[in-house]
Amino acid sequence: MSEPGRAADAGPERPEGRGPWAPPGSAGDPWAPPGPAAGPRQAHTGGPQPYPGAPPFGGAQGGEPRTAAAQGGPYAHPAAAWGWPVQPEPPRRVAAPAGTRYHEQSRNGRQRFWHRLGEFLIVGGLFMVAMVLLVGIGMAVGQALGFDPAPEDGGDRLLADPLADQALALTGLALGIPAVLLAVLWCGMRPPGTVVSVVGRMRWRWLGLCAAVAFPLMAVQMGVLVLWEWLGSGDEVFEGDAPGVTRLLAGLVLFAALVPFQAAAEEFVFRGWLVQFFGGFLRSPWPGVCVASVLFALAHGFGGWSGFFLLLYSALWWGWLVQRTGGLEAVIAMHTANNVLSFGLALALGQLAESGTAADAPWQALVVELVSAPVFCLVVDRMARARGIDSRRPADPAGAPPEVQPGPLPPGLSATGTGTAPDTGTGTGLPA
């Protein structure tokens, strides 16, 4: 029997674990929603007892302490629970910032004085060592194949056969390509492709378009020179031991295979690396272009004033074109067309043994060059503007090595390096 006065206040009986008054997740009610799972209880050893439900340092309410490895995501670090994440080292080879011009591609903030000096030593040293090795190997292979050494009065030739000797010379000059690329890679602290163009690579389609302009124009130039000389000297122009068809075809194939590398090597050195060397500390490209043009002319020897000024004049125009197009493709195409057709014509006329370099060019060649060089450069420049060829380094050049990206921030630091990053439960920042 219940006490008087309390039976009315008690109300209806509430069965434990059943009915609408049952707590969520009750085992007795099959329709009840599941309740929240209880997290593990915090371990407490000594010191004042934390208030109930207080999260551990760096953890969520009622959860496990958060560690760098437990956070997951793209910014997780395999570090200890409370250790600083190991910061990745920045790449050693860095390209110049976006917007820099071609001659400024060495301005990556990594070069010091000894780096620039090292570039000179590597380019010169590697080229000389490679040339000595090549001459020794080439002479041995040539004699093994039956080619006799050049006679004492053969001038600069090493082999008596002019075609074999020219092949050896072209191969030796082509060694300038690896010398420049290794110097830029090791001491320039930048991707070697930045010597080729502002996008960090060879633009092959653009190279083909420039070659489509260079070869016809150079063929016309050669035809004008031959006609001019024939009008002045008569049939003496064609006096020579014409080669047979087999030797002519073999020579043309040889020139087509080797001349592009020889021409590219000279452009890498004089219009590429040397101009960018001066561009590393000079704002204007013209000091480097002028110095490189004079050295380019002198490197061909000094056969006469007309030949020297022809080379200097062409080099200045080509240096201008490199700055306008942001790369070496156009001048490589023109240099290749000039040498392939020159060597091919000399071979066809039987005058390959007597042919010298452009330093021996007559004054008529200089007159023709005064017109043909600006015509080619202006036409190609117009093509570059119409096709949107980059003359400055773009923000994200396709196929180029990536720019330096900032590494992940240490825990607790914001992007500006001050304050603390907010603790969202998913990032790497620690609560303040």
pLDDT tens digits for range 29-69: 555 555 555 555 555 455 555 555 545 544 444 444 454 44
Is residue 316 within 8 Å of residue 255, measured between CB atoms?
no
For the chain, the average pLDDT equals 79
pLDDT tens digits for range 182-226: 999 998 889 999 999 999 999 999 999 999 999 999 999 999 999
Is residue 190 within 8 Å of residue 96, measured between CB atoms?
yes
**Is this structure's pTM higher than 0.75?**
no
247 in any annotated domain: yes
Note the pLDDT of residue 303: 82
> Which DSSP helix (H) or strand (E) runs through 181?
helix 176-186
84: pLDDT confidence band, cut at 50, 70 and 90? low
417 in any annotated domain: no
Of 326, 255, 283, give the one whose Cα is nearest residue 107.
Answer: 283
Neighbouring CB atoms inside 10 A of 146's CB total 8
pLDDT tens digits for range 353-401: 776 788 888 899 999 999 999 999 999 999 999 999 999 999 865 544 4
Would you give the distance in Å from CA 389 to the centre of its chain?
16
pLDDT score of 339 more than 90: yes
What percentage of the chain reaches a pLDDT higher than 90?
Answer: 47
Of 141-150, 257-266, 342-351, minimum mean pLDDT range: 141-150
Total tally of structural domains belonging to the chain:
1
What is the 3-state composition of the chain as percent helix, strand, coil, each rounded to the nearest 5? 50, 0, 45
Note the pLDDT of residue 233: 76
239 in any annotated domain: yes
Note the pLDDT of residue 213: 98
Instruction: Measure the CA–CA gap between 325 and 198, rounded to whole angstroms.
Output: 9
Average pLDDT over residues 84-101: 74
195 in any annotated domain: yes
Of 113, 106, 93, 121, give the one whose Cα is nearest residue 185.
Answer: 93
pLDDT tens digits for range 215-262: 999 999 999 999 988 888 777 777 777 788 899 999 999 999 999 999
Note the pLDDT of residue 266: 97
28 in any annotated domain: no
Note the pLDDT of residue 144: 86
118 half-sphere exposure, CB direction, 13 A CA radius: 14
pLDDT score of 405 more than 50: no
> Which DSSP helix (H) or strand (E) runs through 37?
none
The single residue listed with the structure tokens 């390509």 is 177
Q: Which residues pair with 149 in a beta bridge?
A: 159
363 in any annotated domain: yes
408 in any annotated domain: no
Note the pLDDT of residue 151: 79
271 in any annotated domain: yes
Strands (E), 225-373: none
Instruction: Measure the CA–CA gap between 130 and 265, rounded to whole angstroms.
Output: 14
Domain limits at 273?
102-387
Cα R_g (the chain), whole angstroms: 38
